[in-house]
Chain A
Amino acid sequence: MEETISDPTGFQAVLTDDCWRHIISHHPEMHPFKEFVTETIRQPDGIYSGKRDPARRIYRKKFSHVPGLGDSLDLLVFVGNVDGYVATAYFAGYSIRMLGVLRWPSN
């Protein structure tokens, strides 16, 4: 089964069961937060293209409280620019460097 999610630019991301299983098998803290992932694609704070891999869309959304994990965490969702495949997703507490080039919202 797969879920298609539209982002604010009209781009459609695809979250398959296989992909979700892959995400939670390596990032088990994500298990209760599938809805957070779809929300991050649907209503992100920012969409970036990767610095080293411009074909990668990175969705970022800040959550003020994530039960069991902590406060003020950024959920990052990585999506292929061509096929819309959701590659992975996880919570980041801190980013040392900027997340590539901001594509949305544009200035």
Chain B
Amino acid sequence: MAFQLVQEFKFEKLQYSYDPRGDVLDISFGPPAPAIALQVEDWLAVRVRLNPPSLQGMTIVGFKKISERINRYAAKELPKRMRRLARVKISIAYDDQSDTLVMRWEEKTTFLHKLLNKLSFQRPGSPSVFEPLIRQTGSATSAVGQTLANVYVEKTVPFNEIAGIKILQYTKCGEAAVEGIFGAIIDTIFEPSREQDENVHLIANAVVARLDWRKLAAAAV
């Protein structure tokens, strides 16, 4: 298999702005530029730049209400996460022989992390395992289950952290799988009482954990 890098996203140039009257938060990965929205849900849009194709940013309509629902203890629990998001790099690679897409995210390590890794004898390129995103139980026969049947998560060993996502049969199932992943994350965040798989929880936690809701909320004053 020869995976070729398709796209790489860095969030170092992250900018954000909050309009308190409209309760709209605009996050831009670089200076604002013309883009078209991929509407994930009615409150969340991912903005995609056309030339060249790349991730431009996100718009959250009703930010204050939404952030309070995601984590009402955000101010206490989640400091410095915007800075953490700025350290994330997402790379997407595709192998046309196996028709497989792999998305991985990495975080630039701080001096403290490097020190801790050394102390715990963790080495760069530490092992990981792939697991199905959802358990192959009764839910696999549902529409959502079928959509996500080709989605696997990459988890680090032994820390069990999400390192990436792999989508098999990408040309056939990729679009539906990406939709399914977004949907599963949102359902996990907003409808925690519903039965959800551990791996979906881990991905949702990874997404929420990388946003500094306190700093965003501070911008919303």
Contact = CB atoms under 8 A, between A and B. Distances in A.
Interface of A: 19, 22, 25-29, 48, 50-53, 56, 58, 68-70, 73-74, 76, 78, 80, 85-88, 90-100
Contacts of A86: 22
Nearest to A70: B36
B46 to A, nearest CB: 9
B115 interface: no
A70 B42 contact: no
Given A26-B59, A80-B22, A50 B43 contact: yes
Interface of B: 17, 19, 21-24, 26, 28, 32-43, 45, 47-48, 50, 57, 59, 61-62, 65-66, 69, 179, 182-183, 186, 190
Given A27-B32, A52-B66, A53-B66, A88 B38 contact: no
Contacts of A87: 19, 21-24, 61
Contacts, number: 116
Given A26-B32, A52-B65, 5 more contacts: A27-B26, A27-B59, A50-B43, A78-B61, A86-B22
B38 A93 contact: yes
A87 B57 CA distance: 17
Given A73-B36, A87-B19, A52 B42 contact: yes
B38 A51 contact: no
B42 A91 contact: no
Contacts of A93: 36-38, 48
28 contacts: A19-B21, A22-B22, A25-B32, A26-B26, A27-B59, A28-B32, A28-B33, A29-B34, A50-B42, A52-B65, A53-B61, A58-B42, A69-B36, A69-B50, A70-B36, A73-B36, A76-B37, A76-B39, A78-B24, A85-B21, A86-B22, A87-B21, A88-B61, A90-B45, A91-B36, A93-B37, A94-B39, A97-B186
A40 B41 CA distance: 20
